[in-house]
Amino acid sequence: MRISKPFPGLSFLSILALSFSFYTIRPTSSSASLQDQFINCLKRNTNFYFPLEKTFYAPAKNVSMFSQVLESTAQNLRFLSKSMPKPGFIFEPVHESHVQASILCSKKLGIHLRVRSGGHDYEGLSYVSRIETPFILIDLSKLREISVDIEDNSAWVQAGATNGELYYRIAEKSKIHGFPAGFCSSLGIGGHITGGAYGLLMRKFGLGADNVLDAKIIDANGKLLDRAGMGEDLFWAIRGGGGASFGIILAWKVNLVPLPKTVTVFNVTKTLEQDVGNKILSK
């Protein structure tokens, strides 16, 4: 669910687009050579190794592997049809510095990027671009670490983890802690919280976005910022203002909420005349 909040100023994408005009290097030939330029640039901007065969996917290299990765989390099949533009290549960072380097390198080479966490975007915005050519896909699915700190009532969760994985890791450590977010367990926590994140615990604890304590984001200049670094305005905006408008979120620090040991779920069935029936969650 994308709940829009008005936010003054330039969006992340327009800052990226503006910065392109300062660079003279333009994509000239095929996406294969673009990919090579991108890889060389990445190598100059990160000290952390990325095995090419597990981080880069391009149609020229292996079209079936490319499609497999592209489709792996895409939820709206309409945006995978033949007529839809495809990314020149897909990069799956295995270290946070790779995300930072991706922003710097796509600016430098004048390529647009799309960022995907769980792929549940209703309009396919995380893996299709119909206005920017060429574009590449930065897929965060290999950045999915979760560390739960029960003592502190909190957890750090990387953008590529799903909300289901977060619930599971919390439940492994405690039966009386939880996180109030979406019902569908395959949502990427990266995109999910940027749109609010409502779910079954919403009436008691609010949205997932209401229960965020800190975040790590990389801005359009490739700067890594936490809550103190980004300031309260940006911290407010990313919790409901939509994902890719402001930067790439690497991780969220979330507040855990107290759950009763026993949760009873039951169905109440009603006809339309009697009022629309629904599931009720109660203590």
Ligand X SMILES: Cc1cc2nc3c(=O)[nH]c(=O)nc-3n(C[C@H](O)[C@H](O)[C@H](O)COP(=O)(O)OP(=O)(O)OC[C@H]3O[C@@H](n4cnc5c(N)ncnc54)[C@H](O)[C@@H]3O)c2cc1C
Binding site for ligand X (CB under 6 A): 1, 75, 114-122, 125-126, 140, 159, 182-184, 187-188, 190-192, 194-199, 243-244, 248-249
Quick check: 264 binds ligand NAG (CB under 6 A)? no
User: Which residue's CB is nearer to ligand X, number 106 or number 194?
Assistant: 194
- Minimal distance, residue 215 CB to ligand X, in Å: 10
User: Which residue's CB is nearer to ligand X, number 61 or number 226?
Assistant: 226
134 binds, among ligand X, ligand NAG, none (CB under 5 to 8 A by kind): none
Give the sign of the dihedral formed by CA 208, CA 210, CA 212, CA 218: positive
249 binds, among ligand NAG, ligand X, none (CB under 5 to 8 A by kind): ligand X
User: Which residue's CB is nearer to ligand NAG, number 66 or number 235?
Assistant: 66
Nearest Cα to 54, choosing from 67, 69, 44, 41?
69
Q: What is the 3-state secondary structure (H, E, C) of the chain?
A: CCCCCCCCCCCHHHHHHHHHCCCCCCCCCCHHHHHHHHHHHHHHHCCCCCCHHHHEECCCCCHHHHHHHHHCCCCCHHHHCCCCCCCCCEECCCCHHHHHHHHHHHHHHCCEEEEECCCCCCCCCCCCCCCCCCEEEEEHHHCCCEEEECCCCEEEEECCCEHHHHHHHHHHHCCCEECCCCCCCCCEHHHHHHCCCCCCCHHHHCCHHHHEEEEEEECCCCCEECHHHHHHHHHHHCCCCCCCCCCEEEEEEEECEECCCCCEEEECCCCCCCCCCCEEEEC
Nearest Cα to 11, choosing from 245, 243, 189?
245
User: Which residue's CB is nearer to ligand X, number 35 or number 102?
Assistant: 102
Considering only 28, 29, 64, 81, the residue that binds ligand NAG (CB under 6 A) is: 64
Considering only 15, 39, 65, 224, the residue that binds ligand NAG (CB under 6 A) is: 65
User: Which residue's CB is nearer to ligand NAG, number 10 or number 65?
Assistant: 65
Considering only 28, 47, 266, 273, the residue that binds ligand NAG (CB under 6 A) is: 266
62 binds, among ligand X, ligand NAG, none (CB under 5 to 8 A by kind): ligand NAG
Quick check: 68 binds ligand NAG (CB under 6 A)? yes
Considering only 4, 14, 62, 147, the residue that binds ligand NAG (CB under 6 A) is: 62
Rg, Å, the chain Cα set: 20
239 binds, among ligand NAG, ligand X, none (CB under 5 to 8 A by kind): none
User: Which residue's CB is nearer to ligand X, number 248 or number 256?
Assistant: 248
65-68, long-range: CB < 8 A, 24+ apart: 66/90
User: Which residue's CB is nearer to ligand X, number 102 or number 117?
Assistant: 117
125 binds, among ligand X, ligand NAG, none (CB under 5 to 8 A by kind): ligand X
Nearest-angstrom CA–CA distance, 175 and 227: 29
Amino acid, single-letter form, for residue 98: H
Options 104-112, 185-193, 249-257, 264-272: segment touching ligand NAG (CB under 6 A)? 264-272
Options 51-59, 213-221, 231-239, 262-270: segment touching ligand NAG (CB under 6 A)? 262-270
Q: Which spans of this chain sit near ligand NAG (rule: CB under 6 A)?
A: 62, 64-65, 68, 265-267
